[in-house]
Structure 1
Amino acid sequence: MGKIVISENVSLDGVVEDPTGEDGLGRGSWFTCIGDADREAWAKVEFEEAVSAAALLMGRRTHAWFVARGWESRDGAWADRLRALPKYVVSSSALDGPEWTNSTVVKAAEVPELKQEVHGDLVVYGSSRLAHTLAERDLVDELRLMTYPVVVGAGERLFGETSAVKPMRLVVTRTVGESLVLLTYRPA
């Protein structure tokens, strides 16, 4: 049985929207507020996570984000690993434009079955809408929050309003570089 792991870059106040500023929402670029050493440490953690993943689970917009940034043709071990992983894209419609190798469209209702079929971590990058849906359906087994030392003050947060309280317990705290903290939670 698989384990759904939500892996997000978040600000101190929980914002996940537009971390690189590429979406032009006015409060982006908080991802770039860290130094080169922190960025290298972050990349190492992200690569390790990709190596240990069994598959990626993502929303249509996040899939399109990776495709638009050329992950299909990038060089390097990290890109090779992401390309090799099965990618399950939760969408109610077919994918537009170029595909990313090993991508399959699934409906949200199929995720519990997918969780039964995949052995290992199904890692969710980005995809805040999908993360919220998965949390609402109690399908999240682990949250990995790479926390940035910045308060954004506005923007989409990882979790908006929920139908009930979702108790979590902290299982790992890890400093990444000099400025980042990786917080890992599991349902209580």
Structure 2
Amino acid sequence: MGKIVISANATLDGVVQDPDGQEGFGPGGWFHRFVAVEDLQAWTTNETGEVLHAEALLLGRRSYEWFATRMHGADVRVSPEWADTMNGLPKYAVSSTLENPEWNNTTVLNGDAAKEISELKRRVDGDILVYGSYQLVRTLLAEHLADELRLTVFPVVLGTGQRLFDEIGDTTPLRLADTRKIGDGLVFCTYEFLHG
């Protein structure tokens, strides 16, 4: 049985919007602006390890397209090992509009998202990693399909912006499973969703 693992980067006040600054959100670009180079190197090692232990990627359309355009040769900005692993993993893109995915090993889930993801969890044995994909994350939370949240907290408060748990109507209990410091500025927290 697969485990849906949401891996998210957020500011100290929970903002997940526009970490790379390419969406035009005023305070966007916080991913690189507010963290020392050493912290990003330590984060890269952490991220590489996370991907190495995943069995599949589950992405919304926009996040799928964002990653797909960056996983080729000179466009890779994180590490070649991370990109190679991302390229080799089976990928599942949740979209009603994506018709001809160009990224290798991609299956488009274009029906009932909750039903198809439930089936995916039954088929895949291991971690199904979700990066970005905040609309998809909200569906996963609403349908109680997420099993774990891995949150990397960046040391900045923006005061505005879209947050990971915006528009979540229900109380969502979680249990802190692990926390550790990455470099001198980042905190990595692992939470388990408590269902039932």
Equivalent residue letter for 1:87: K
Q: Rate the CA distance shift 1:37–1:118 in 2: closer, same or farther, 3 A.
A: same
SS in 2 for 1:129: helix
Pair 1:172 & 2:175 matched? no
Residue of structure 2 aligned with 1:105, choices 105, 108, 120 = 108
1:12 CA displacement: 0.7
Equivalent residue letter for 2:102: E
Counterpart-to-counterpart distance in 2, 1:123 and 1:54: 8
Once the two structures are superposed, residues 83-124 of structure 1 have per-residue CA deviations (whole angstroms, 9 ceiling, x without a partner) of 00001001112346x611111101313000001000000000
Aligned to 2:87: 83
Aligned to 1:185: 191
Counterpart-to-counterpart distance in 1, 2:9 and 2:141: 17
The 8 Å contact of residues 72 and 100 in structure 1, kept in 2 or not, is answered as no
Number of residue pairs the alignment of both structures matches = 186
1:162 CA displacement: 2.0
Counterpart-to-counterpart distance in 2, 1:39 and 1:153: 23
The 8 Å contact of residues 57 and 129 in structure 2, kept in 1 or not, is answered as yes
Equivalent residue letter for 2:132: G
Q: Give the fraction of aligned pairs with identical amino acids, expressed as a percent.
A: 49
SS in 1 for 2:15: coil
Equivalent residue letter for 1:81: T
For structure 1, the 5+ residue unaligned runs are none
Once the two structures are superposed, residues 109-159 of structure 1 have per-residue CA deviations (whole angstroms, 9 ceiling, x without a partner) of 300000100000000000011011100100010000000000111111111
Counterpart-to-counterpart distance in 1, 2:9 and 2:99: 25
Counterpart-to-counterpart distance in 2, 1:27 and 1:68: 24
Pair 1:132 & 2:138 matched? yes
Counterpart-to-counterpart distance in 2, 1:31 and 1:164: 29
- TM-score, normalised on structure 1? 0.94
SS in 2 for 1:134: helix
SS in 2 for 1:8: strand
The 8 Å contact of residues 60 and 95 in structure 1, kept in 2 or not, is answered as no
Once the two structures are superposed, residues 33-92 of structure 1 have per-residue CA deviations (whole angstroms, 9 ceiling, x without a partner) of 1111000000000000000000000000001111233x1444721111000000100111
